[in-house]
Amino acid sequence: MADTAVAREAMVDRQIEARGIRDPRVLAAMRQVPRERFIPPDVAPLAYADQPLPIGYGQTISQPYIVAYMSEALRVTENATVLEIGTGSGYQAAVLGELAREVYTIEIVPELAEHCRLIA
């Protein structure tokens, strides 16, 4: 567990903050949400790599920088309600959940939706 926290911190420092993400709330959210919870076990060793990863059903979890970039671009306030279309792994929704009051997310692939319900 400690190893993943160190890897997550390094990811934020080297991949996200180093590329210009400055919103302290987004940086804190990226440090808080464990990306390894949102990917299949066989790719878990790559959880903090600077790349998208397969999550099954022809889908991927977005590269961490892209999640941070989209989160910062939204300028989500603490009182915001967010609607996400395409839950995928649930990682973006979890990051947004650290920023907003409420997050609603919709997924068309039943197996991905079920996985997200189980980890929520």
Residues of the chain where predicted confidence (pLDDT) is lower than 70: 1-2
pLDDT at 1: 52
| C-beta separation of 8 from 35 below 8 A | yes
Quick one: tokens of 76? Answer: 């989500």
pLDDT at 41: 94
pLDDT at 120: 72
Residue 85: burial class (beta carbons within 10 Å; 0-12, 13-18, 19+) = exposed
62 catalytic? Reply is yes
Residue 20: burial class (beta carbons within 10 Å; 0-12, 13-18, 19+) = exposed
Amino acid at 84: E
Residue 120: burial class (beta carbons within 10 Å; 0-12, 13-18, 19+) = exposed
Q: Which of 62, 69, 74, 80 is catalytic?
A: 62
- Predicted structure pTM score: 0.94
pLDDT at 2: 65
Helix H or strand E segment including 94: helix 91-99
pLDDT at 119: 85
Integer Cα distance of 17 and 119 in angstroms:
27
Closest by CA to 97, choosing from 76, 114, 116, is: 76
pLDDT at 74: 97
| 3-class SS of residue 29 | helix
Per-residue pLDDT reduced to its tens digit, 9-39: 999 999 999 999 999 999 999 999 999 999 9
